[in-house]
Every structure is written in structure tokens, then in C-alpha cells.
Amino acid sequence: MALNVLVTGGAGYIGSHTARQLVTAGHRVVVLDNFYSGHRWAVPNSASLIEGDVANGELVKRLLRDHKTQAVIHFAGHIVVPESVENPQKYYLNNTAGSLSLMQACMEMGVDKFIFSSSAAVYGTPEVLPAREDAPTAPINPYGWSKLMTEWMLRDLATSRKLDSARSDGQGGFRYVALRYFNVAGASIDGSLGQATPEATHLIKVACEAACGKRDGVTVFGDDYDTADGTCIRDYIHVEDLARAHLAALDYLTADGKSEILNCGYGHGFSVSEVLNQVRQISGVDFAVTMGSRRAGDPPALTADVTRIHEVLDWTPQHQDLAVICRTAHAWEKEGMSKRSETTAPSAHWLSSLLVI
């Protein structure tokens, strides 16, 4: 069933992969992005592109009305953990308050399907791994709190308010799927999309930059954790698999699925040292690695229990392999990014004049 879908942050890393899959699946896509970290060239040519901010309530309501939007997939948000520790107000203003403004617009305009880009950071340092969705939530950084607060707002809106369009049988109303991402990495298999975030901090991206000579090397933030090799362990998921999970969540809500919170990962992790060795093997480059002190807000290990997502959604990962993740990331860093240009992007919509900084 083709839907009219608003994708916030659709010019960014995960948003652009998802927008392309939505278009391929036949959905009509509108991308709203303020280009804080997104790129025009990453947006599918057949999507409508509007430059603006989710916090601009009047702009968002106009888009929802004019495009007869039936669902929103919300990616727009800041994601750098250390920065959130240093500048928490930036994260609460953009991630939490901005999300509330977007939700309010959806409620007012009768949009009843909402998919939220959440994070495993809501778990903090779990006592039991892999972490289940019903595990205690105890973020250890403002980034995690900003995501958890948004989950709370979604829960409360879905519980306490029905839309005017809710059916007489009591079903329908505002429903959501919050996808708790673990560590997203890799690039599209065809090499046309990848992570182009300026000054990215994600390990695989940084390691591939080092392998391509774009960095002097990689700093490992702590090698004295209680893990097998002393470095942090994370559950990595390929960006194409993650994008596919959003389409599966959209199908689920379209079929009257109830609100859900679901982990997005593969259910097993790799240490920082294992990742670096994998990138070295794929690239053939023995880039420099420096051992540094621990970074604020980093748990020793974080892996997902993925039982629920497989029970709830029609979703089967296709790239569940660290080598595939690192190989696509490295190919993008080596060749894909150099071919990208802002001139290949669709023109911004006339509403760009309403951009909110």
C-alpha cells in the first residue's frame, strides 16, 4: 500500500537510505531537513525536498496538510554522545523539544503513524546483556536521556489522546514504533550512499577514514574495560538492514499494529580492537592506533536482544556480517564520497525560505 510519508532528517545518513528504500517500494516521500549534517545529493530525485526544521510547527503542519501525509518517520536529531555531555541543552532543545513540536503537529493534522529513531543509549550500562526492551532504562549521557524522553512523550500521547480520525470501534488513533538503534555502520551495497557526516565519531567510519589517509590514525578510548581485550563491545547493524526495519515498521502500523518499542541490532557484538583489525584486513592498511583514556558516557558493552523485532515485524537482516559492514564502509570512504556533489541533488522546495536555525 503506497503511502504519503514525511521523512525528517531524510538527507542524513540513515534517513537517506530509508528514503531511497521508501521510494523504491512505491511510497510518496517528502524529506524535511535543515542540512545540519545532511546532504542534498543523498535525497532521492523523486522525493520532494524541503529545507526546514522540525521545530517549525507551522511549516510542519503545512507540509502534513499539503502532502496529505499519512505517516512520519523521524530521524532528525543530534547523535554525538561526548558533545551531549559537553552541551546538553543543545540535545534537549533539538532532540526532545523538537520531537515534541513534530508530534504536536501530527496530532493536530491527524497523522496517526509515527516511527521514531531512538537509541540503545536509553539503556545506559545494562546489568544483563543482551539488553531486552523491558530492561531498566538508565541513560548515562544527555543524548540517551533526550531519546528516552521522546519515547515517554510518544507513549503518553498514544495512551491519552485519540485522533479525530480514530475509528468508532476504538481502534486506530495515534500509534508509533520506536526503534532503538544499536551501532549503525556500513554503506549501500551499490556504493551510492554512505555516511558523509562531517567530523563523524563512529568507530567504523573513523577507521575507514584512517585507512584511506583522511586521518592520521584512530584513538581508542579506553583499553581497560572488563571485556576480553579491554576495549568496548558494541552490536553493529548495517545501515541497509536498519533502513529496511523502518519500512517493516511502516507496514506493521499500516496493518493496525499497536505501539511498540523494538531493538535494532543483530544480537551479538564486536570489540573496538576486533573492528579495527577487520578494517585493517579489508583495506590492507596498517593505520596508526593510539590508546587514550576512557570517554565520558561510554558503557563497556552494549548488545541487543532482538527477539521482539523478529516476532513483531516482517524483517530479516541481509547483511549480518562485520566484514560486509566494514567492506561497504571502506568502499564508500575510498570511492563513493569522492563522486558525490551537491550539484547532483534535487532542488530545494520553495518553502526553504522558512528555515529555522
Q: Which amino acids are annotated catalytic?
A: 143
Contacts of 89 (CB under 8 A, 6+ apart): none
Q: Which long-range contacts (CB under 8 A, 24 or more apart) does 131-137 make?
A: 131/263, 131/302, 131/303, 131/304, 131/305, 132/263, 132/305, 132/307, 132/308, 133/180, 133/261, 133/262, 133/263, 133/305, 133/308
The SS3 of residue 178 is strand
Helix ranges, the chain (H): 13-24, 57-66, 81-86, 88-91, 98-109, 142-160, 203-211, 239-254, 272-283, 307-312, 322-331, 337-339
Q: What does the block give as the cell for 246?
A: 523502518
- CA nearest 290: which of 357, 350, 218? 218
Q: Which long-range contacts (CB under 8 A, 24 or more apart) does 130-138 make?
A: 130/235, 130/265, 130/267, 130/268, 130/303, 130/304, 130/305, 130/306, 131/263, 131/302, 131/303, 131/304, 131/305, 132/263, 132/305, 132/307, 132/308, 133/180, 133/261, 133/262, 133/263, 133/305, 133/308
Query: How far apart (Å, rounded) are the C-alpha atoms in residues 338 and 331?
Result: 11
Query: How far apart (Å, rounded) are the C-alpha atoms in residues 207 and 196?
Result: 14
Cβ-based neighbour number of residue 101 at 10 Å: 16
Question: Could you give phi then psi for residue 4, rounded to 5 degrees?
Answer: -90, 115
Q: What does the block give as the cell for 72?
A: 512520519
